[in-house]
Amino acid sequence: MRQKAVVIAAAVVAAIGLVAPRAQAQGFSVYEHDACAMGRSGAGVAAPCTGGSAIFFNPAGIVTGTGAWNLTFGATLIPPRGGFTADGGATTDMTKDNNVVPHLYLTRQVGTRMAVGVGMFVPYGLTTEWPNTFAGRFLAYKTTLHAIYVQPTVAFKVTPRLQVGAGIDFIRTSVELHQRQDLYSTAIAPALLGVGVPLTAGTDFADARIHGTANSTGAHFGIIWRATDKLSLGARYMTGVTAKGKGFAGFTQVATGLTLTPHQDTLLSGLLGRTVPVGATVDMLMASQFTTGALQTQAVTAAIALPAQFVAGFAYQLTPSLQVMADAELTQWSKYKTLPLQFSLIGADTMYESYKNTVGWRAALEYALSPKATLRGGFLTHPSAAPDWNVTPLLPEAGRFEAIVGGGYKLTHGITVNGALQYIHQSDRRGRIVDYNPNTQTNDPNSGTYKMHAILVGLGFSFAF
C-alpha cells in the first residue's frame, strides 16, 4: 500500500507538470525563504512547514496549537552562472557571484487558537554582474536590488478546520546600478568626428554608479481550510507596493586615450565656441564635466513597483507518512511598467520595462521516513515577466525548469535541521545589449543569446522551546 501511494503521488505531481505552461524565469522574485519550504519547491500554502516560515508562505499557518516559541533561521546560497553569445560568435561570461539570501522567523503560540510572530525575508531581489568590458556595459555591468521585508504577524484558529492570519510588511528597498557611459553618444561626439578624431562607438569615458533606498509598507493575508482530515486548501495574498526613494549618482572619469593634433585644436575651438588649448587631449576637454558640469555627484529619485502575489493550493495526505501538495502563484508584474529616474543635474530618464502578469506552478512530495527524518522533492515552473525586447544584462530571463530535493532531521525534541538542493535549468533566450525605447523604435534590438543556470543550496535550523 505504501509503494502504491508513492506511485499515485508521483503521478499527481507529474500531471501538474504536464499542464503547467513552459517553464521560465519570473522577474526578480525570490522564493527560497526556508530550507524546509525550499525542499517542497516552495509549495505548501495549504500546509506550511511547522517552523515560523509560514509567516511568508501563509500567515495563517503559524498557529500550530502545540509548543510555545519557535525560532527558525537560515540562508540560501544563489550562485548564478551564465553568459552572452553575440550573433558574431563572441561569448562573454557573467562574473561568478555567490549570493546569500537570509531568513529569520520567530513565533509564539498563545493558547491553542492564536499565535503571533515576526519574520524577515527577501521576496524581491537580484544580483547580476558582468565584466566592465562587456559589450552591454552601457546598459549595466552590475545590478543589485534587495527588498527586505520585516513582517509582524498574528493568526487565529477560527474553528477546528479554519485558520486565518495577517501581517504588516515594513519594506526596505535598495537598488544599485553600475554602467559605463559612451563618448560616442554624447553631444561633443559630432564635433570630434567632424575634425577627424578617430572616435568609435563603444568608447568609455565615464563610469556611473546609481544608488538609492526607499521605505514602504504593505500587508499580507492568509487562510487555511482543512476540508477533510486528509485534504487542506489554502491561499495567501501579499499586497504590492511602490517603493519611492532617493539616492545619488556618482561619475568617475575613464581615460579614452584620444589625442588632438594642432589642426584639430583650432577646428574644435570654432565648433565648440571656446578655446581648446594647444596640446589638449579629449580627456582634458571632458574633465570639467566631472567637477562643474552635468556629471558631478548629484541627487537622484526613483520609484520601483514591487508586485502583489496571490497563491492558492492544496495539500493531500495520501498516507500517514506521505503528503502531496501543489500551488499556483499569480504575480502582478504588470505594475512594473517603467523605472523613472530624476537626476538633479542630468534631468529625467526612463527605463522601459513593460512586464506582464505571470502564473507559476509548484508541486512537491513530502515523505516521513521515521519520526525524525523527512524527505522532500518537487519542481516548479514560471512564465516570463519580461517581453522579448527587454532581455538585458540587468535581468536576462528565459525558459526555466527547476527541480528540488531536500530533507529534514530532528536532532533533538526541539531542534530540527533542514536542507535543500535546487537545480535551475534555463533555456537560451535572445536578448539585447543596447538601449531601446518601445514607444519610438520598432526594430528588433536583440543581437545575441543569453545563457544562465544555477545550483542553489538552502540550509536552516528550527528551535522549539
pLDDT tens for residues 149-206?
Answer: 999 999 999 999 999 999 999 999 999 999 999 999 999 999 999 999 999 999 999 9
| Mean pLDDT within 125-139 | 95
Residue 277 has pLDDT above 90, yes or no: no
Residue 219 to residue 151: CA distance in whole angstroms: 8
| Mean pLDDT within 117-145 | 95
User: What fold, for 2-131+145-171+215-235+303-464?
Assistant: Porin (2.40.160)
Q: How confident is the model at residue 361 (pLDDT cuts 50, 70, 90)?
A: very high
Extract the C-alpha cell encoding 408. Answer: 529534514
Q: How confident is the model at residue 295 (pLDDT cuts 50, 70, 90)?
A: very high
Percent residues over pLDDT 90 in the chain = 82
Name the amino acid, one letter, at 406.
Answer: G
Residue 12 has pLDDT above 90, yes or no: no
Q: How confident is the model at residue 10 (pLDDT cuts 50, 70, 90)?
A: very low
Residue 15 has pLDDT above 70, yes or no: no
Residue 232 to residue 229: CA distance in whole angstroms: 8
Half-sphere exposure of 356 (CA within 13 A, CB side): 10
SS3 readout for 245-284? EEEEEEEEECCCCCECCHHHHHHHHHHHCCCCCCCCEHHH
Q: Parallel, antiparallel, or unpaired for β 322-331 and 309-317?
A: antiparallel
| Mean pLDDT within 268-282 | 84
Say what the pLDDT of residue 5 is. 43
Q: How confident is the model at residue 3 (pLDDT cuts 50, 70, 90)?
A: low
Half-sphere exposure of 443 (CA within 13 A, CB side): 7
Residue 23 has pLDDT above 60, yes or no: no
H or E segment and range at residue 177:
strand 162-182
Instruction: For the chain, state the CA radius of gyration.
Output: 26
Residue 240 to residue 337: CA distance in whole angstroms: 14
Q: What pairs with residue 60 in β-bridges?
A: none
Residue 305 has pLDDT above 50, yes or no: yes
| Mean pLDDT within 4-12 | 41
pTM flag (> 0.85): yes
More confidently predicted of 276 and 256: 256
pLDDT digits (tens, 9 = 90+) for 364-384: 999 999 999 999 999 999 888
| Mean pLDDT within 66-77 | 92
Residue 131 has pLDDT above 80, yes or no: yes
Q: What DSSP assignment string belongs to 15-73?
A: HHHHHSPPPB--TTB-----HHHHHTTT--TTS--SSTTHHHH-GGGG--SS-SEEEEE
H or E segment and range at residue 11:
helix 2-19
Structural domain boundaries of the chain?
Answer: 2-131+145-171+215-235+303-464
Let me know: does 366 contact 374? Beta carbons within 8 Å. Answer: yes
Name the amino acid, one letter, at 376.
Answer: R
Residue 2 has pLDDT above 60, yes or no: no
Say what the pLDDT of residue 276 is. 85
Q: How confident is the model at residue 346 (pLDDT cuts 50, 70, 90)?
A: very high
Average pLDDT in the chain? 91
Residue 376 to residue 325: CA distance in whole angstroms: 11
Question: What 3-state class would DSSP assign to 365?
Answer: strand
Percent residues over pLDDT 70 in the chain = 94
pLDDT digits (tens, 9 = 90+) for 81-108: 999 999 988 999 999 989 999 999 999 9
Let me know: does 120 contact 150? Beta carbons within 8 Å. Answer: yes
| Mean pLDDT within 332-347 | 94
More confidently predicted of 328 and 277: 328
Say what the pLDDT of residue 26 is. 56
| Mean pLDDT within 40-59 | 96
Sequence-distant (≥ 6) Cβ neighbours of residue 291 within 8 angstroms: none
Question: What 3-state class would DSSP assign to 414?
Answer: coil
Of 53-57, 76-80, 278-282, 395-399, give the range with the top mean pLDDT. Answer: 53-57
Q: How confident is the model at residue 267 (pLDDT cuts 50, 70, 90)?
A: confident
Say what the pLDDT of residue 275 is. 81
Let me know: does 311 contact 246? Beta carbons within 8 Å. Answer: no
